[in-house]
């Protein structure tokens, strides 16, 4: 038998030969055996056996031998037929599985020959449909209108390593970016798939490509606390100190109206060390391991405190000429000790739209869309989801709290209210 447990053609032929031999074997062998047995019986018997009895015995012996041989032959033939049928069925099934799925059969299933379906089925890991589309000359790098994804992007996001291998072999563009500027490598890093991350890097993926928010694959790995992915990326040349650059052309235009000011835009000339952006303060992104933070700021100090009943490790970073901490990092528990929350206390830190600790609520409203107000530890914060930042308000007038409690609206906060801390999460 072969390794699949299916009898080979040679084995079946051999079984049929045995059955044929048994079926057409000469009768002399069985008769001779019967005579030998009869002779032995005569030798062991003191009494002479009559000739008629001898003849009857031999006839019965011969008949019994023929019946047994025919039964064995029928059983052997039956087994051979069953095995032969199974073998033929297996071979046909194997040929069906190995045969490429035709485009006509795909269309008969209601799957239209469109780029969006190539991307969908690549994300599902359906090799047969993807190959059928590609064999019909569909562009492997076709993009989906809604998000700019390609087949490789979908396979990377949905953790389909075999599909990623296939698409890379078919020359899919590895550094292609979607509408948000993200690459397949960024999605693989965010989803924590080491195999796909390695495949993309080996195919030439750039670990330092930035999306429209200035984020890299390493930042995605840090934010998802994927320490192993981060190490793979750094081994491939990912730069943890890469400055975050938000391109001016990527800042969406706000609608203009007679009653609302158009937000100002600023060129990205802010030093990387003091720039605040999405999930990042200066050179430190959310998710960075403590050991990497120490390489950037060897003089940082550590202390432990209790937050919401849990023991937390806090890292304090002092920039030059600062007597108070410029940055306070809350670290996650566990061996890696990743940065989970960053508090900014230094007015030198600024966003790409020049919002600093000297700014007011009015400045934030002019530049960002304020989503809501949150109460944390008896303090009020403006939440700006687009930047993943909370701006702590410096409230001295108790009437501000009362007015906000009555209305619940962010617009109830006076525009001249100052900012005293920025929390990046």
Q: Would you say 315 and 329 are in contact if contact means Cβ atoms under 8 Å apart?
A: yes
Q: CA 154 to CA 184: how far, in whole Å?
A: 8
Q: CA 157 to CA 418: how far, in whole Å?
A: 42
Expressed as residue numbers, the domain containing 126 is 105-239
**CATH assignment at residue 167:** 1.25.40.20
Question: Are both 409 and 374 inside the same structural domain?
Answer: yes
Question: Are both 288 and 413 inside the same structural domain?
Answer: yes
Which among 98, 124, 140 is the end of a domain? 98
Question: Are both 44 and 157 inside the same structural domain?
Answer: no
Q: In the chain, how many domains are there?
A: 3
Question: Are both 162 and 70 inside the same structural domain?
Answer: no
Question: Are both 299 and 346 inside the same structural domain?
Answer: yes
pLDDT computed for residue 8 by the predictor? 61
Does residue 333 belong to any structural domain of this protein? yes
Q: CA 184 to CA 161: how far, in whole Å?
A: 12
Question: Are both 146 and 233 inside the same structural domain?
Answer: yes
Question: Are both 230 and 279 inside the same structural domain?
Answer: no
Does residue 254 belong to any structural domain of this protein? no
| Sign of the alpha-carbon dihedral angle for 205, 114, 134, 92 | positive
- pTM: predicted TM-score of the whole model, two decimal places: 0.57
Question: Are both 279 and 418 inside the same structural domain?
Answer: yes
Which among 73, 98, 123 is the end of a domain? 98
Residue 212 in 3-state DSSP? coil
Q: Would you say 296 and 280 are in contact if contact means Cβ atoms under 8 Å apart?
A: no
pLDDT computed for residue 367 by the predictor? 92
Question: Are both 305 and 367 inside the same structural domain?
Answer: yes
Q: What is the pLDDT along the chain (425 residues), one digit of tens a residue?
A: 554 555 566 665 665 566 555 545 554 455 455 555 545 555 554 455 555 554 565 566 556 666 666 666 666 666 666 766 665 555 555 444 445 667 778 878 888 989 999 999 999 999 999 999 999 999 999 999 999 999 999 999 999 999 999 999 999 999 999 999 999 999 999 999 999 999 999 999 999 999 988 889 998 998 888 889 999 999 999 988 776 655 544 444 433 434 444 444 444 578 889 999 988 999 999 888 898 999 999 999 999 988 777 788 999 999 988 889 999 999 987 777 889 999 999 999 999 899 999 899 999 999 999 888 888 877 889 999 888 899 999 988 888 878 877 877 888 899 999 999 999 98
pLDDT computed for residue 259 by the predictor? 41
Please compute Rg for the chain using Cα positions.
Answer: 40
**CATH assignment at residue 341:** 2.60.460.10
User: Distance between the two ends of the chain, CA-based, in angstroms?
Assistant: 62
Residue 215, token pair as written in the block: 């984020």
């Amino acid at each position: 038998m072969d390794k699949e447990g299916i009898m080979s053609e040679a084995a079946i032929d051999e079984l049929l030969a045995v059955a044929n031999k048994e079926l057409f074997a000469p009768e002399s062998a069985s008769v001779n055996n019967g005579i030998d047995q009869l002779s032995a019986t005569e030798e062991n018997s003191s009494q002479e056996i009559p000739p008629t009895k001898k003849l009857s015995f031999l006839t019965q012996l011969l008949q019994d031998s023929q019946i047994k041989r025919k039964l064995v032959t029928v059983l052997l033939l039956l087994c051979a037929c069953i095995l032969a049928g199974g073998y033929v069925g297996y071979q046909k099934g194997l040929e069906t599985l190995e045969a490429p799925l035709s485009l006509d059969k795909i269309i008969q299933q209601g799957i239209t020959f469109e780029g969006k379906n190539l991307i969908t089925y690549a994300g599902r890991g359906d090799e047969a449909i993807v190959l059928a589309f590609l064999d019909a000359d569909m562009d492997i790098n076709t993009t989906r209108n809604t998000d700019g994804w390609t087949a490789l992007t979908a396979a990377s996001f949905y953790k389909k390593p075999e599909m990623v291998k296939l698409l890379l072999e078919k020359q899919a563009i590895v550094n292609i970016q979607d509408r948000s500027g993200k690459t397949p490598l960024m999605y693989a890093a965010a989803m924590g798939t080491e195999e796909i991350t390695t495949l993309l890097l080996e195919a030439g993926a750039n670990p330092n490509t930035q999306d429209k928010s200035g984020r890299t694959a390493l930042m995605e790995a840090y934010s998802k606390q994927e320490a192993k992915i981060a190490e793979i990326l750094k081994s491939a040349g990912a730069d943890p100190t890469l400055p975050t650059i938000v391109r001016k052309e990527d800042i969406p235009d706000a609608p203009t109206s007679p009653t609302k000011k158009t937000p100002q835009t600023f060129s990205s000339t802010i030093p990387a060390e003091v720039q605040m952006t999405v999930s990042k303060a200066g050179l430190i992104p959310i998710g960075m391991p403590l050991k990497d933070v120490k390489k950037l700021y060897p003089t940082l100090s550590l202390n432990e405190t209790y937050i919401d009943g849990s023991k937390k490790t806090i890292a304090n970073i002092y920039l030059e000429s600062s007597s108070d901490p410029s940055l306070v990092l809350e670290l996650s528990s566990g061996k890696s000790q990743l940065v989970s929350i960053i508090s900014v206390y230094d007015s030198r830190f600024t966003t790409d739209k020049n919002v600093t600790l000297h700014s007011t609520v009015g400045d934030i409203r002019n530049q960002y869309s304020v989503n809501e107000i949150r109460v944390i530890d008896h303090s009020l914060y403006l939440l700006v989801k687009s930047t993943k930042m909370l701006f702590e308000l410096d409230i001295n007038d108790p009437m501000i709290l009362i007015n906000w409690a009555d209305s619940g609206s962010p617009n109830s906060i006076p525009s001249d209210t100052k900012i005293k801390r920025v929390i990046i999460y």
